[in-house]
Amino acid sequence: MPQHAASNLTYREEGRRLEEELQWIRAVKAGHPEAYKFLVQRYQSMVYHVCLKMTADSVSAKDLSQDIFLKAYSALPAFREESSFSTWLYQIAVRKCLDWKRAHQREQARRTMGEVSENDWVTAETPEKIVLSEEMNSRIRQIVDELQEPYKSAVQMYYFEQCSYQEIAKRRGITAKTVESQLYRARQMMRQKRRGAQVKMRTHSIPDGRLRRP
C-alpha cells in the first residue's frame, strides 16, 4: 500500500476512534454510566503504565489507576471536548501520581527525621530549606501547567516521568526529533513565562537537564 494511502487510512481510523469515544462520553453525561466501562477498557493499560512509570511500584500503580478512573468519571461532566479524552485523562493521571509522590516523599521524610540521631541534626536539612525547595518545585509545576499542548505533555513525560525521547515518540506516535524540537520550544516558553511572572529561582535559566522530581 502506498505511504500516502496508509496515512489517510490511519487518519480515518483515528477519526472513527475519537468519534466513538465522544459517543461514550456523551452517553455517560446523558445518564448512562455503563458506557464509561468502554473508556476504562480502552485506556486502563495506558493509565497503569503511567502510574507504574511514576511510582515504580505495581501495587501502588493498580490502586492509583482505580483512583484516576474514579476521578475522571466524577470530572467527566466538565470535559469540554476541546482536547482528546486521552490527553485529558493523561493529565489527570500525572497529577494524581505527582500527588502520590509528594505524599510518599513526605512520609519517607517523616520516618527519616524520626531516625536521625542527635549528632545528625547539625547536617540535616532545615525546615526552611525544605519549604524553599517545595516552593520552587510548585512554581515550576505551575509554569508547566500553563503551557499549551503538545508542549505540556512533552515536558511532563520527559521531566516528571523521566521518559526518553524514544519513549515519548513511541507513545505519542511522532518522531524523536519532533520530541526534541517540542522540548526545546517548551523550555523557551517556560523561560518567558518565568520572566513575565518574575518567578524567583536560584538558577538564572530553566535547566536543559531533568528537573528535580517533586
Which residues, given as ranges, of the chain have pLDDT below 50?
A: 1-9, 112-133, 199-207, 211-214
**What integer pLDDT is reported at residue 49 of this predicted model?**
93
Show Cβ contacts of residue 90 under 8 Å, excluding neighbours closer than 6 positions. Answer: 46, 50, 153
Distance, in Å, from the CA atom of 69 to the CA atom of 93, rounded to the nearest integer, reads 9
**What integer pLDDT is reported at residue 29 of this predicted model?**
93
**What integer pLDDT is reported at residue 70 of this predicted model?**
93
**What integer pLDDT is reported at residue 31 of this predicted model?**
93
Q: Is 61 helix (H, G, I), strand (E, B) or coil?
A: helix
**What integer pLDDT is reported at residue 1 of this predicted model?**
46
Q: What is the pLDDT of residues 27-70, one digit of tens each?
A: 999 999 999 999 999 999 999 999 998 888 888 899 999 999 99
**What integer pLDDT is reported at residue 74 of this predicted model?**
92
Domains and CATH numbers, the chain: 1-119 (1.10.1740.10), 125-214 (1.10.10.10)
**What integer pLDDT is reported at residue 9 of this predicted model?**
45
Answer whether 0.75 is exceeded by the pTM: no
